[in-house]
Structure 1
Amino acid sequence: MEAPLILLTAGGTGGHLFPAEALANVLKASGCRVVLATDKRANAYAGSFPADEIIEIPSATPSGRSVPKMAKAALLLAQGTFRAMAVIRRLKPDAVVGFGGYPTVPPVLAASLLKVPTAIHEANGVMGRANRLLARRSSLIATGFAGIKGIPANVPGRVIQTGNPIRPAVLEAAGQAYAPLEPNGRMRLLVVGGSQGARVMSDVVPPAIELLPQDLRERLVITQQARGEDLERVRAHYGRLGVAFEAEPFFTDLPRRLGEAHLVVARSGASTVAELAAIGRPSILVPLPGSLDQDQAANAKTLGDLGAAIVCPQTEFTPERLAAEIRSTFQEPERLTKAAAAAHSASITDAAERLAHAVLDLIHLNKNGKPS
């Protein structure tokens, strides 16, 4: 019997592609064939994706109040759906699994129309708009967090919590125990802003470090992700302060750097929160403001409620506030160790296996009328 073929589809950012990559690895290890459908942004992240084929599907995000822009987005999504229907007819996948973002709408919608079993995974604490649109057409809804908000009432598919799948590199880093900050030792501070970077980190973190006493600055080793347009001013600022630092637009070995960090300052995308929990690292989380769903605030709250993270709204994320938080961790390093343990308590390291099992059960149910 031919191995099952699963078509995975994800928006072209790390937050969507990394969980899809984790599932793909598990499916491939179990003998399945995997194809990825995504958008053109995925080129930066899809190089290591374990897919037999990567297919670009046209899509767009309907946003704003401009009628022409909305109409253009709707047209692109319709074109993407027709393209996805042709792909599905050619590939004949046993299931289609979406990981959120509007690029998943055409493939999942096309699969639904062609009576192919569908699943969606919602990584955030609030269901995103694309997944809400697809929820009633999905045979299975898997969630990263318990009790997420925004799932439409009376959806026909099964709803289960699997956790958020994490990449093999994160699982490897999760095996590294937290190294407590030693008295008078050096603190490894990691600053990241999601796969696209975050300008606020470049605006706030270097001035915060400047506010620290010289003796504390000398104890810092900073690794910071900075957007390309912000990179030189970040490097110049740290160079002027004489602190040990490394600044780049993107780190391909971020899981390893998470494992080495004493403290992480970051946005609170679902993948970031899942990786902080899996590896067990304390953090200061600055949720992305202004989103309609406030999903990052919900994600951050899961760690904040455990004492694993300090949740700082962007309106309060000032150099003075950050400097005070860093100073207090130097004064009470045991707080970092307790926060690391609290983060690890929220870890779900077998989420990819749980999701793979649910997808394979869905396929088996569709073919045989009962789960495996």
Structure 2
Amino acid sequence: MSAVATPILLAAGGTGGHVFPAEALAAELLRRGHRVGLVTDTRGKGFGQNLPELPLYRIPSGTPSGRSLPGKIAALFEIARGVFGALNLIGLTQPAAVVGFGGYPALPLLLAARMKRVPVLIHEQNAVLGRVNRLVASRADRIATSFPVTRFLPARIPATVTGNPVRPAILAAADRPYEAPADGISVLVMGGSQGARVLSDIVPAALAALSQDIKRRLKVQQQCRPEDLERVRNAYAQAGIQAETATFFGDVAERLAAAHLVVSRSGASSTAEIAVIGRPSLLVPYAHAMDDHQTANAQALAQAGGAVVIAQDKFTVERAATMFNDLLGDPAELARMASAARSVGRPLATQALADLVERLVAERRKAAGVGSKATSKDHSVKRIAA
């Protein structure tokens, strides 16, 4: 469809799980000739840093969840201030549509858009609708989901499975086929952007408990918190396991593509990237994730046959060692899991999401008598209550 003269505003919180898909959509809409603006609050420092040519608007917001009563009141006051700021922004920019990616920084703009009857689409990265998306979902025009089964979807709002956009480096690495381990076995351990304490506590000891034949073939790469780095490094050295440890890996895509097994949390971005590249994984959902959404994400990959899931309270050295022994000792099973993971990956998620945004804009333009026929198609998703 032809590009719209007024901008499409994308609103997201400041965490990577919200920012990555929002920036991916922004880049795709720009490529298609649309004007785009980014919206967050003062906490979203990383939003837009990869797209410095785009206008970035900051409006007040607050997070009432998990705070004391005075804190909740203060947060609600900030959200109200943000709604007034968002109303002013909408008046100035006259957006063709607003797209929300979750997080409380997105809430004021989404509420203001509904008040001004601006078309609203929300994108949910997880298999459970997040708190902010849940607040506005029943008033949205469209919902885009990353998983075929997503909890808490309202029944009457059209929902489309687009998948969760991933970074360009992941898409480039996805072309590399999985090669079952032969002489060497590469294990990649990721714990989110800052590592995970439980993975540092359990994985080195579990791998150390394996047979000498497996240990001598292991090449481990593990992301750790800074305070865990030295003890993890020493644990691998004492076990005679070749290992590289760091607080951050800047080339995660390449490491994922080279891995024979991935050990990870199950955030939305991690599960999407594992599936798109197609690698077998052992997933340990973060036990305190809101609404236990990481377990739902992990189960979606496990049900396809691409992952093994162990709850954090069951993730002991003995249990992990047994799983490592079973998986690393069965190259054919690892290859089967890799194929299963790839089968549910959605490498065209960004394009599908951009198609959905364009369709929403086209429908509104058509209703106003200036539209063009939309070409994208909806795909129904299953809904479950809780």
TM-score with structure 1 setting the length: 0.92
Preserved CA contact (<8 Å) 2:48 2:54: no
After alignment, is 80-89 or 279-288 more displaced?
A: 80-89
Preserved CA contact (<8 Å) 1:193 1:266: yes
Q: Secondary structure at the match of 1:288?
A: coil
| Distance change >3 Å, CA 39–CA 201, structure 1 → 2 | farther
Aligned counterparts of 2:229 and 2:85: Cα–Cα separation in 1:
39
| Distance change >3 Å, CA 97–CA 81, structure 1 → 2 | same
Q: Quick one: which of 197, 219, 236 aligns to 1:199?
A: 197
Aligned counterparts of 1:45 and 1:193: Cα–Cα separation in 2:
22
Preserved CA contact (<8 Å) 1:3 1:31: no
Shift of 1:142: 0.9
What is the aligned length? Answer: 368
Preserved CA contact (<8 Å) 1:109 1:137: no
Corresponding position of 1:67: 69
| Distance change >3 Å, CA 297–CA 342, structure 1 → 2 | same
The 5-angstrom pairing of residues 4-43 of structure 1 reads 4-43=6-45
Q: Which runs of 5+ in 1 are unaligned?
A: none
Is residue 2:95 matched to residue 1:97? no
Shift of 1:3: 4.2
TM-score with structure 2 setting the length: 0.89
Preserved CA contact (<8 Å) 2:194 2:224: no
Aligned counterparts of 1:4 and 1:42: Cα–Cα separation in 2:
24
Is residue 2:276 matched to residue 1:278? yes
Preserved CA contact (<8 Å) 1:21 1:50: no
User: Counterpart amino acid of 2:356?
Assistant: A
The 5-angstrom pairing of residues 69-218 of structure 1 reads 69-154=71-156, 157-182=157-182, 185-218=183-216
| Distance change >3 Å, CA 140–CA 2, structure 1 → 2 | closer
Aligned Cα root-mean-square deviation (Å): 2.1
Q: Which runs of 5+ in 2 are unaligned?
A: 375-386
Corresponding position of 1:258: 256
Preserved CA contact (<8 Å) 2:83 2:108: yes
Aligned counterparts of 1:92 and 1:232: Cα–Cα separation in 2:
53
| Distance change >3 Å, CA 89–CA 347, structure 1 → 2 | same
| Distance change >3 Å, CA 10–CA 51, structure 1 → 2 | farther
Corresponding position of 1:303: 301
Preserved CA contact (<8 Å) 1:34 1:50: no
User: Deviations 1:218-253 (Å, cap 9, x if unpaired)?
Assistant: 222111121233223323333443432222222232
Aligned counterparts of 2:119 and 2:340: Cα–Cα separation in 1:
38
Shift of 1:41: 4.7
| Distance change >3 Å, CA 21–CA 89, structure 1 → 2 | same
User: Deviations 1:238-297 (Å, cap 9, x if unpaired)?
Assistant: 344343222222223212211111110111112211111111000001112134422111
User: Counterpart amino acid of 1:273?
Assistant: T
- Taking only the aligned residue pairs, the percentage that are identical comes to 47
| Distance change >3 Å, CA 198–CA 82, structure 1 → 2 | farther
User: Counterpart amino acid of 1:169?
Assistant: A
Shift of 1:196: 4.1
